[in-house]
Amino acid sequence: MDRPVKARYPGGPGAMSKGHASQTPVMRQYTAAKEAHPDALLLFRMGDFYELFFDDAVVAARVLDLTLTARNKGAPDEVPMAGVPHHAASTYVQRLLEQGFKVAICEQMADPSKVKGIVPREVVRVVTPGIAYDDTGLESRENHYMVSVERATEGAGAYGVAALDMSTGELSACEAEDLAGALAELARLDAREVLLGPGAGPIASALSETRPRAAVRAVGETMIEADADRALDAQLGAGETRASCPSAVARRAAARCVTTAQACEAGRALPISRLVFHSPGEILALDEATQGHLELVRSNDGGARGALLAQIDLTRTAPGARLLRRRLLAPLAGVPEIRRRLDAVELFVAQPGLRRELRDRLSEVGDVERLAVKLALDRATPRDLVALRRSLTELPAVADALARCPEPSARETLGIPAGGPWLDDCAELCALLAAALADEPPPRAADGGVIRDGFDATLDDVRDLMRGGQRTMVALEARLRDSSGIPSLKLRYTRVFGWYIEVTKTHVDKAPRDWRRKQTVASGERFTSVELDEIADKLAHAEERAATREAELFTKLVRDLAACQERLRAVAARLAAWDVACTLAEVAHRDDWVRPDVDASLDLTLVDARHPVVEKLAASGRFVPNDVSLGAESGRPRLWLVTGPNMAGKSTLMRQTALCVVLAQMGAFVPARSAHIGVVDRVLTRVGASDNLSRGESTFMVEMKETANVLRGATRRSLVVLDEIGRGTSTYDGLAIAWAVAEHLHDAIACRAMFATHYHELTGLAESRPGSCENWSVSAREHAGDLVFLHKLQRGPASRSYGVACARLAGVPEPVLARARAILVDLERGDGSPGGPVSPMHGRSREQRPQLDLFDGQTRGPPAHHPALEALRAVEVDRLTPLEALQLVANLKRMANDA
């Protein structure tokens, strides 16, 4: 049985034992359903309500703020009970899912008025946080993922991560080589529910901190490879699975998603037809910290505004919006595919007329992707069909616009096979919908009037009868009014009482004797007559036949459309890709972005680059562009040390560089005048001393953990951006760590990297590594004691820290500033400590300061041929006795002193 971790799946068979013996037939039904779904809250349909009993009732009453009542109150077999009206179920279910609960929906399987004895009931659906109940629980512009993580049984620490979006039928999987990789994938997917297989425990604790909205559930039993393949083959078609997904652990994770969804959908065929496998090298890796620091989809305050996505999302369709978001969080790492996407964007940049027309058309197109899935799961409403009809009506115009494109290579650029149609316009589906569906049908099929007149002869006939009956009713009303002489007489209908003749108090004595009294109300009397009963009977009969026929036709219509779901989804996918390409072209046009030249080199050259969000929001209209030139080839500067006063724009510069890489590799133009980008395998950014107190870890610990991840994860092809690392500890400590990290990045990893620092000492690193490490600073000018930020990059380290000027800008009182200036002068002159201990490093000349080259002796350390070193090299450590070791140390010290 599943073991809840965070999600609180309450109840259990134990809770059912009380009152078992004396149960009524209905409660026996309930018990059977609950025993089949012990880990879910059971919503048990009784008439117009869904009732919850026992512990479920207690929990639901608390979570949903319902009144807790009792069945058989006061009796020994009293049962706690709470209920929600069936028409409002959606909102309540949604709230339970948001709280991490799993919900089982038990329906009445027949009309209670038509069965003798007890109504049959069945659990028709189980919903979990990862599978939304209906549109209320879905964000139209985001995917809704259930993710499953499995641990590899063989080999080192690999994880399989699979994601299923049941609202679109997308199933994907990948293999992460370690915990960090799995967590990055989880961050990218932003799952609503995570199923953790055995051995995936370490993920649970990490998730509880970073993904508060995901319900995390440990699934006890191992998913065996053979079972997994069988489950996937059954869903996707035999043999397909191994070919499309070579990783066994990824297949196991995918199978877990599929079997979980199958269990929820009680026998329905799932709309999942493909498993998309991402091999690790295919995607530009962005770990969770990087996603956060770059503010890709959420800004630092957690909102969407201020994030890159909000700036670039001009998509016109929901599937387009979802695709754009997915691409932004998973840019590519392969040059040909990136170029193909850029080609499409370039086409729409060059064809503004086509772009405008397509975007206009797309505005009229609904969420065909999710509509297709609703059809497949038999959950489409008449209004959904209206949305589909409207969408399909646009397709010929979309195809026509593209066909008129004057660019001869357009077809190839957009990947349309030669001779094939631009778009499957689904003409016969559109015609079917036009013929069958009324112009403005009611929200629910049961309300009637969904099918258009003239579509079905049988329905037309019964509708004629029905309308005839209605006309007869109107005529009867007029006749009764005349014959009785009651001018206010009305024929009325209620669901409970049926048809009746309404007579007000004043005229009651005029009612003919052959009318039968039905009911007395405050305002008068309600009668019926033999004639009225007869007509009402006929009418009811006709109405019922019309409703039945209409229900049949609607079901058939949905089924016919569902049979074409693959075509609809293919159309949706194509439209989404065009929507994204048009959007990125629109952004490029609006903000003057350029096509990046992406290749397999190790270059990163940006001319007049800007930060896409700061340029539009904080520094709108006065943003200063800057150039960046990094290269991991030998002879190129690969490490930039960036200094400058606070608020000068260091962080902005570094982030815009990383963002240009992300944008380019997702297939977008970039905010620059020109860009040459050698493809990057991972972007790793870290900001020092970011506040993580809420996680209960010291900021410095977090900073160091993140730094460790960067140093472990980066390769020569990576882009590393470190912003003020080493700030969270004492000056010496921090400087030492910053220095060692920068050195390691430069010497050992040798990747393209930018390192912003407030440690001026660090700029010395560039002197010892000419050509491959450069100092840059973001300029500011001190003017009459005030700081003026120019935001312009210049070569060389910043001349000074400007700390005091910055403090003034921030409003530190003048006496304090004056004292600070005096201390600064003392310190810089080397006059020792003015009134208290200060850092011993100040007051010495640069030459007198201790060596900062901590870990590598090549450049500034002791000379390579020092006798002490020679002696050390000759030592065989394993053979030394303790005494010999002591003597060795004494000798070494002597040599060191002699030198």
CA distance 581 to 806: 44
Q: Which spans in 404-426 are helix H?
A: 410-413
Among 143, 148, 260, 651, binds Mg ion (CB under 5 A): 651
**Residue nearer to ligand ADP on the CB measure, 141 or 650:** 650
Does position 172 interact with Mg ion (CB under 5 A)? The reply is: no
Q: Is the dihedral of CA 600, 604, 608, 612 positive or negative?
A: positive
Does position 143 interact with ligand ADP (CB under 6 A)? The reply is: no
CA distance 77 to 700: 59
Does position 299 interact with ligand ADP (CB under 6 A)? The reply is: no
CA distance 341 to 730: 48
Phi, psi of 60 (to 5 degrees): -65, -35
Stretch that binds ligand ADP, among 31-39, 543-551, 644-652, 686-694 (CB under 6 A): 644-652
Q: Which residue's beta carbon is nearest to the bound Mg ion?
A: 651
CA distance 720 to 737: 16
Question: At its nearest, how many Å lie between ligand ADP and the CB of residue 852?
Answer: 23
Does position 619 interact with ligand ADP (CB under 6 A)? The reply is: yes
Q: How many CB atoms within 10 Å of residue 535?
A: 20
Q: How many CB atoms within 10 Å of residue 464?
A: 13
Q: Which spans in 563-593 are helix H?
A: 565-591
Question: At its nearest, how many Å lie between Mg ion and the CB of residue 161?
Answer: 33
**Residue nearer to ligand ADP on the CB measure, 45 or 650:** 650
Q: Which residue's beta carbon is nearest to the bound ligand ADP?
A: 649
Stretch that binds ligand ADP, among 391-399, 643-651, 736-744, 795-803 (CB under 6 A): 643-651
x/- mask, ligand ADP, residues 732-771, rule CB under 6 A, reads: ----------------------------------------
Stretch that binds Mg ion, among 89-97, 302-310, 647-655, 764-772 (CB under 5 A): 647-655
33 binds, among Mg ion, ligand ADP, none (CB under 5 to 8 A by kind): none
Phi, psi of 594 (to 5 degrees): -125, 155
**Residue nearer to ligand ADP on the CB measure, 799 or 887:** 799
Give the binding-site size for ligand ADP (rule: CB under 6 A).
16
User: What secondary structure does DSSP assign to 283-314, as a single string?
Assistant: B-EE-HHHHHHTTSSS-TTSSSTTSHHHHH--
Does position 652 interact with Mg ion (CB under 5 A)? The reply is: no
Among 130, 181, 469, 649, binds ligand ADP (CB under 6 A): 649
Does position 614 interact with ligand ADP (CB under 6 A)? The reply is: yes
Beta bridge partners of 519: 526
Q: Burial code of 820-837, b = ≥16 C-beta within 10 A, e = fewer?
A: eeebbebbeeeeeeeeee
Stretch that binds ligand ADP, among 7-15, 247-255, 409-417, 612-620 (CB under 6 A): 612-620
Q: Are 307 and 613 in contact (CB under 8 A)?
A: yes
Question: At its nearest, how many Å lie between Mg ion and the CB of residue 688?
Answer: 9
**Strands laid side by side in the 603-609 sheet:** 597-599, 674-678, 603-609, 626-631
Stretch that binds Mg ion, among 648-656, 727-735, 777-785, 823-831 (CB under 5 A): 648-656
Question: Which residue type sits at 548?
Answer: T
Give the binding-site size for Mg ion (rule: CB under 5 A).
1
CA distance 406 to 68: 69
Question: At its nearest, how many Å lie between ligand ADP and the CB of residue 713?
Answer: 24
Does position 623 interact with ligand ADP (CB under 6 A)? The reply is: yes
Stretch that binds ligand ADP, among 63-71, 615-623, 714-722, 857-865 (CB under 6 A): 615-623
Q: Which of 582, 569, 572 is nearest to 360 (CA)?
A: 582
Q: Which of 237, 247, 158 is nearest to 197 (CA)?
A: 158
618 binds, among ligand ADP, Mg ion, none (CB under 5 to 8 A by kind): ligand ADP
Stretch that binds Mg ion, among 235-243, 420-428, 564-572, 651-659 (CB under 5 A): 651-659
**Residue nearer to Mg ion on the CB measure, 150 or 703:** 703
Collapsing DSSP to helix, strand or coil, 171 comes out as strand
**Residue nearer to Mg ion on the CB measure, 578 or 640:** 640
**Residue nearer to Mg ion on the CB measure, 381 or 690:** 690
**Residue nearer to ligand ADP on the CB measure, 652 or 718:** 652
**Residue nearer to Mg ion on the CB measure, 315 or 651:** 651
Stretch that binds ligand ADP, among 54-62, 168-176, 335-343, 617-625 (CB under 6 A): 617-625
Question: Which residue type sits at 486?
Answer: I
x/- mask, ligand ADP, residues 775-804, rule CB under 6 A, reads: ---x------------x-------------
Three-state secondary structure string covering 636-688? CCCEEEEECCCCCCHHHHHHHHHHHHHHHHHCCCECCCEEEEECCCEEEEEEC
| Chain-centre distance for alpha carbon 462 | 49
Does position 647 interact with ligand ADP (CB under 6 A)? The reply is: yes
Strand duo 103-108 + 41-46: pairing: parallel
Q: For binding to ligand ADP (CB under 6 A), which residues are involved? A: 614, 618-619, 622-624, 644, 646-652, 778, 791
Q: For binding to Mg ion (CB under 5 A), which residues are involved? A: 651
